[in-house]
Chain A
């Protein structure tokens, strides 16, 4: 099986408080993996471990291994900056850069990653990224508008375009729809399905219906532990663990 990421015995602490306990999971290339579970179960912490976003958090500590392209991202002299160019991230709250236009928002990752590019190359990347994020048709005539002037759903797709522009292999999405209305959420879901042909996508979600619709596999987290991980069909119809069943039938969480 071709895995984009392999997580082995991952534990994480904020100070003395352990938030992840021996997580082991394989994430298949070009698939959509949902990470599901009640609030505080460690699912956001988990995906932020996959691109080392916690590096600057005081008191944060991990143990275990995360393999990306055959190398452990926590030990094998991996530069977190280069890692994050390969493992992009979309956040819960759309966070386009203030005081930057739509164009600049998409171009910014490339602009600062060292390689010189001509204006027309830059424009090509911006167009391609906005097309992939299904924003080009709406915004092709408004590239100079401030990114923050868009609607919430557009802002989130702008953030997706921005992440795609640096050509990652993996896209981590931390509850990308939870701040959006149902229509915008549906568009993001469509987008996730389209993107899964080319990208490996890991989505944290609260929404079980959403997880069922978009995922190839679903991981269920509870109190910092991975309870089980299987295909979406299996998890939602015939979960192996009683706690998963209780969660999806709405008995807690």
Chain B
């Protein structure tokens, strides 16, 4: 009796420990990355990093201020177009999308979400850079928008589907028109979830590098226009990291630290909204 009970409990415990170890192994890389970045990036993490333009090789100091501005510009452009398009498509799929067209849209959106980001970069290159004959913020933003939009469409749809039918019926029964019910009642009910989806998609595109290689190109100076090559943090990190100079390597680490800091802040905000505004 006792022996069996002991074996059963031992097996219980062993399974639990195994699962916990797997879970630990999953989150371990995140902490290793953060630790490593802090360790190596902290050296260059000075105020000038976020206020100064990059300096030439060998000249100490300098920052990635133009990259920060560039990343925010590109992401902002992508979101300015992507939020209305993505949210409205999501509303269409959730509230009206029953037929074949909607199924086709849903399938295509999922396909688009699976397209490797380098291909979206090449697409941006063909669509913008070749005809305009120059690299630009527009090209970069449209490449990032194609990553941003599918996520927003699907999270908007999912979030709207969690709104109970009784909410829509309650509004319609008051004599509120359907489009107002959708926009001001249903979407409002799901707004925290939709906003969370938007922020998570934003965190995703801020760190994307491949789509920028063929579109933004990068820039050593302040951006001069949206139709001009533009700097971005991931590009700077990439260029610094592949360079042969030690002080540039340090800047790559510091830039990476800034980037992951931005992503963490956005993701945390998303989680906070999802939890508190429910």
Contact = CB atoms under 8 A, between A and B. Distances in A.
A159 B173 CA distance: 11
30 contacts: A51-B173, A53-B173, A56-B172, A81-B175, A84-B173, A84-B175, A85-B174, A88-B173, A89-B173, A91-B166, A91-B169, A91-B170, A91-B173, A95-B164, A95-B169, A96-B170, A97-B171, A97-B185, A97-B189, A98-B189, A99-B188, A99-B192, A99-B277, A100-B188, A108-B171, A108-B176, A109-B174, A109-B176, A112-B177, A112-B180
A163 B184 CA distance: 18
Going nearest first, the 9 A-B pairs with the smallest beta carbon separation are A85-B175, A109-B174, A89-B173, A95-B166, A84-B175, A95-B170, A112-B176, A112-B180, A98-B189
B98 interface: yes
A112 B172 CA distance: 11
Contact of A84 (B174, B180, B189): B174
A53 B169 contact: yes
Interface string B182-213: 00110011011000000000000000000000
Residue picked from A82, A86, A97, most chain B C-beta under 10 Å = A97
Given A58-B98, A98-B167, A88 B174 contact: yes
Interface in A92-111: 93, 95-100, 108-109
Contacts of A188: none
B173 A113 contact: no
Contacts of B189: 97-99
Contact of A95 (B167, B184, B192): B167
Contacts of B169: 53, 91, 95
Residue picked from B164, B171, B184, B189, most chain A C-beta under 10 Å = B171
Contacts of A109: 174-176
Contacts of A162: 170, 174
B167 A163 contact: no
Interface in B127-181: 164, 166-167, 169-178, 180
Contacts of A204: none
Interface string A67-85: 0000000000000011111
Nearest to B177: A81
Interface in A43-77: 51, 53, 56, 58
Interface of A: 51, 53, 56, 58, 81-86, 88-89, 91, 93, 95-100, 108-109, 112-113, 159, 162-163, 166
A89 B171 CA distance: 10
A163 B175 CA distance: 10
Nearest to A51: B173
A82 B174 contact: no
A56 B95 CA distance: 11
A166 B175 contact: yes
Given A86-B175, A93-B166, A162-B170, 5 more contacts: A53-B173, A85-B175, A89-B173, A108-B171, A109-B176
A166 B166 contact: no
Contacts of B171: 97, 108
Contacts of A100: 188
Nearest to A165: B174
Contacts of B178: 56
Residue picked from B172, B188, B277, most chain A C-beta under 10 Å = B172
Nearest to B163: A98
Residue picked from B98, B176, B184, most chain A C-beta under 10 Å = B176
Contacts of A112: 174, 176-177, 180, 184
B173 A163 contact: yes
A16 B4 CA distance: 60
Given A108-B185, A112-B180, A97 B170 contact: yes
B179 to A, nearest CB: 10
A112 B186 CA distance: 14
B277 to A, nearest CB: 8
A135 to B, nearest CB: 17
A86 B164 CA distance: 24
